[in-house]
A = this chain, B = another copy of it.
Amino acid sequence: MPTLPLREALRQGRAVRARFGGFRYIRFKDDFQGVPRGTVVAPGGMVWGYPHIGRLLSLEAGLEEHFAGPFQAEEKIDGYNVRIARLGGRPVALTRGGLVCPFTTDRLPDLLPTAIFDAEPERVVCGEVAGPDNPYLEASPPWIGADVALYVFDLMRINRPGFEPRADKHAAVERYDLPAVPFRGRFRPDEAGRAGLRAVSEEVEAAGGEGLVLKEEERPDKRVKYVTGGANIADIAVAAGNMADLPADYYTDRVQRLVLYLMDHGRERTAELDRELGRAFLDGLEEAVRQFRRERHVSRVYRCRFRERANAEAFRRHLAALSDAGVQTRILGLEPEGKDGYWVLRFERIAPRITGILGHLFSGGVFYDP
């Protein structure tokens, strides 16, 4: 295990202490002297941050540039990244930023067979949690009808940077019946590979999927993501009502990627596609204005299910702390559901800027260009 610049990172505020119940840990809020953001240090060991994956915008130009040999394509799932590891005597789920997520941690027994951590306690399971009943994201793959699901795509190891070899991952997926992301084929970085990837990408797009992650077989750290054109439109649609609150280049980046995807696929634009893009922008915004007229604010409602009431309460306190810090959330309810003993937390997040803009506007205000 490399020596960590832990004391210095803490001193500079680049790493901070945190706790989840009785479990105390330190997380790196930023990249610091070679330690990636999201790295967690705890008595049970250290979990390295999950690295960013570069985005390929053109198979035509970038595939041969990036890969020296065969690579595998996995489906990219639109959710939030977690690393799951046994720390402090129990499996916990860490967010990208290195916080223990009370919701995901609560639901681990529903998301994967946690027996893997009893048998191989040094494992770190990396995956995406997605589904309509998640507390973070509005978007959800269309085939997940309710609740959330885990899609495993990598293994790491406690106290060690980098990914475990592909063979180890496949063996663990088999042995412990882990829910792996869909495998979408093996390709080479040549013309046939590009054609194959384009066909797979169009399949993924037609099913409402987000795209692919391509991983070179020989070098597990060599990987890129490739997102479908349709996913860009879907991202715009889902976030349109938030337009004043997200960075504006969230939208323009996706429009640009859409154009590059179409051109990379040699696909002609159609009136239908133009219409879809326009609708993506306008539907959500119109709904936001309508909501403001009804409720005097613009918000999104989230719901998520917990196994244990105590975890739901912890999540509620977490939201209350965020509210005190300026992120406006409002708890709508915490109630038992069904016979299985689950608890459903419902809350809404206010979009403060568009709420403020519409408030100014509907009280007759004028706007000055910067």
Q: Give A334-370 as 1s and 0s: 1 = Cβ < 8 Å from B's Cβ atoms.
A: 0000000000000000000000010001111111110
Q: Which residue of B lies closest to A288 (CB)?
A: B259
Q: Is the CB of A289 within 8 A of B260?
A: yes
Q: Which residue of B lies closest to A277 (CB)?
A: B278
Q: Is the CB of A281 within 8 A of B285?
A: no
- Assuming the contacts A56-B366, A252-B251, asked whether A281 and B289 have C-beta atoms less than 8 A apart, the reply is no
Binds B, one of A57-65, A137-145, A202-210: A57-65
Q: Is the CB of A282 within 8 A of B289?
A: no
A276 at the binding interface (Cβ < 8 Å):
yes
Specify which chain B residues have a CB less than 8 angstroms from the CB of A89 in the assembled complex.
none
Q: Is the CB of B244 within 8 A of A256?
A: yes
A274 at the binding interface (Cβ < 8 Å):
yes
Q: Is the CB of B278 within 8 A of A368?
A: no
Query: Interface extent on A, as a size class?
Result: 35 or more
Q: Which residue of B lies closest to A226 (CB)?
A: B366
Q: Is the CB of A369 within 8 A of B248?
A: no
The B-contacting residues of A in range 26-74, CB under 8 angstroms, are: 52, 54-58, 61-66
Q: How far is the CB of A96 from chain B (nearest CB, A)?
A: 11
Specify which chain B residues have a CB less than 8 angstroms from the CB of A65 in the assembled complex.
363-365
**Set B256, B278, B282: member contacting A285, Cβ < 8 A:** B256
Specify which chain B residues have a CB less than 8 angstroms from the CB of A175 in the assembled complex.
none
A186 at the binding interface (Cβ < 8 Å):
no
Q: How far is the CB of A255 from chain B (nearest CB, A)?
A: 5
Specify which chain B residues have a CB less than 8 angstroms from the CB of A82 in the assembled complex.
none
Specify which chain B residues have a CB less than 8 angstroms from the CB of A249 in the assembled complex.
248
Specify which chain B residues have a CB less than 8 angstroms from the CB of A255 in the assembled complex.
243, 251, 281-282, 285
Q: Is the CB of A364 within 8 A of B62?
A: yes
Specify which chain B residues have a CB less than 8 angstroms from the CB of A258 in the assembled complex.
282
Q: Is the CB of A61 within 8 A of B269?
A: no
28 contacts between A and B (CB under 8 A): A52-B369, A54-B366, A54-B367, A55-B368, A57-B361, A57-B366, A57-B367, A58-B364, A62-B361, A62-B365, A65-B364, A243-B252, A243-B255, A244-B252, A244-B256, A248-B251, A248-B253, A251-B255, A259-B289, A263-B286, A269-B286, A271-B275, A274-B274, A274-B275, A274-B282, A275-B278, A277-B278, A278-B278
